[in-house]
Amino acid sequence: MATALVTGGAGFLGSHLCEHLLEQGYRVICVDNLETSTLENLEHIRDDAFSFVYHDVIEYIDIDESVDFVYHLAALASPIDYLRQPLHSLKVGSYGTHHALGLAKFKRARFLLASTSEVYGDPQVHPQPEAYWGNVNPVGPRGVYDEAKRYAEAMTMAYHSQQGVDTCIARIFNTYGPSMRSHDGRAIPTFIRQALDGEPLTVFGSGSQTRSFCYVDDLIRGLVLLAESGEHMPVNLGNPGEFTILELAETVLRVTDSRSEIVFEALPIDDPQIRQPDITRARELLGWTPEIELEEGLRRMLTSMGREPVSV
């Protein structure tokens, strides 16, 4: 049985990944400090092949067994979290990635870095291929997340080329699904909560900025395919279906059959205007393509919350 270690394994993506890996027959070690995650995401897992290690990855990681895969997902991924803890965000990206890579080197494990579309910043190329270097403001509020991930990518490549670690890099675009925190500040869980509570949906700016939303099951499938491949260079993982944030708010209202109004609030600083993955590489290298479209994914999310979605 192969062993996978997942940093950030109690978070939104991490917990879905742990569950998927267990279903695939892996032994899974979840490492998390529960700073922005919760054991509730893991409490339904009843599997002897699963263990949880309470640990902050900015400290040295010591694991007393063999490890075949290190999935490094730990991060303060939501704007409300990294804006609250900017230094910690930088430390997780730097010390945390260094420790996770050191572990992979010591264990001779394949290493996957969960990077992000944020490495492209506010892109001037559309859609964004991996060859695009990005347009990030290092001293803006988002810099503490974006630059941490860019640094983590540089460190991953250095461990690969200098130390011979078997690494890969997933650039993850906006992903959503069951068990996202309803107060995590992201557009989809926020709009769903507001729609269900009969509160106004808070669209920032004019709502003309775009995002491309990938359902979590599709994303996790892509992550594991990438980890199990021999690829070393970055690969975009995301759903190319692109929507304005206003279209997203309207879709949430339809799927929830909510009569909430839409209100417009100030656009956050450095909020990217467009975002759409070019997934040519993922298609060609991994045979991966997302299958679940936005409305279907939103319906699944509502069902998981015990709500009845409306067919649209």
Per CB under 6 A, the segment of 15-23, 82-90, 201-209, 276-284 that binds ligand UDP is 201-209
CB closer to ligand UDP, 209 vs 258: 209
How far apart (Å, rounded) are the C-alpha atoms in residues 27 and 47? 9
What are the residues whose beta carbons fall under 8 Å from the beta carbon of 89, sequence distance 6 or more? 75, 76, 81, 82, 144, 145, 148
145 is catalytic: yes
How far apart (Å, rounded) are the C-alpha atoms in residues 13 and 113? 13
Position 175 contacts ligand UDP (CB under 6 A): no
Position 268 contacts ligand UDP (CB under 6 A): yes
The amino acid that residue 125 corresponds to is V
Cβ 75 to ligand UDP, closest distance in Å?
Answer: 12
Selection from 219, 121, 106, 233 nearest residue 163 by Cα: 106
User: How distant, in Å, are the alpha carbons of 20, 28, 287 from that of 1?
Assistant: 15, 10, 25
Position 141 contacts ligand UDP (CB under 6 A): no
CB closer to ligand UDP, 129 vs 205: 205
Position 202 contacts ligand UDP (CB under 6 A): yes
CB closer to ligand UDP, 102 vs 141: 141
Position 204 contacts ligand UDP (CB under 6 A): yes
Position 274 contacts ligand UDP (CB under 6 A): no
Q: Which of residues 279-298 bind ligand UDP (CB under 6 A)?
A: none
CB closer to ligand UDP, 104 vs 252: 252
Position 10 contacts ligand UDP (CB under 6 A): no
Position 172 contacts ligand UDP (CB under 6 A): no
Which position among 211, 281, 299, 300 is part of the footprint of ligand UDP (CB under 6 A)?
211
248-269 in b/e form (b: 16+ CB < 10 A) is bbbbbbbbbebebebeeeebee
Which position among 203, 224, 226, 252 is part of the footprint of ligand UDP (CB under 6 A)?
203
Q: Which residue has the tokens 């002897």?
A: 48
Per CB under 6 A, the segment of 37-45, 87-95, 198-206, 229-237 that binds ligand UDP is 198-206
Instruction: Annotate 226-247 with DSSP letters as a single string.
Output: HHTS---S-EEES---EEEHHH
Cβ 297 to ligand UDP, closest distance in Å?
Answer: 14
Position 244 contacts ligand UDP (CB under 6 A): no
Selection from 127, 102, 91, 92 nearest residue 11 by Cα: 92
CB closer to ligand UDP, 63 vs 290: 290
How far apart (Å, rounded) are the C-alpha atoms in residues 16 and 103? 22
Position 187 contacts ligand UDP (CB under 6 A): yes
The two three-digit tokens of residue 34, written as one number: 């529960």
What are the residues facing 247 on neighbouring strands?
none
- The residue from 26, 71, 120, 145 that is catalytic is 145
What are the residues facing 204 on neighbouring strands?
265
What letter does residue 249 receive in the DSSP assignment? H
Per CB under 6 A, the segment of 30-38, 164-172, 196-204, 250-258 that binds ligand UDP is 196-204
What are the residues facing 52 on neighbouring strands?
30
Report the catalytic residues. Answer: 145
By CB under 6 A, name the binding residues for ligand UDP: 79, 174, 185-187, 190, 202-204, 209, 211, 245, 268, 271
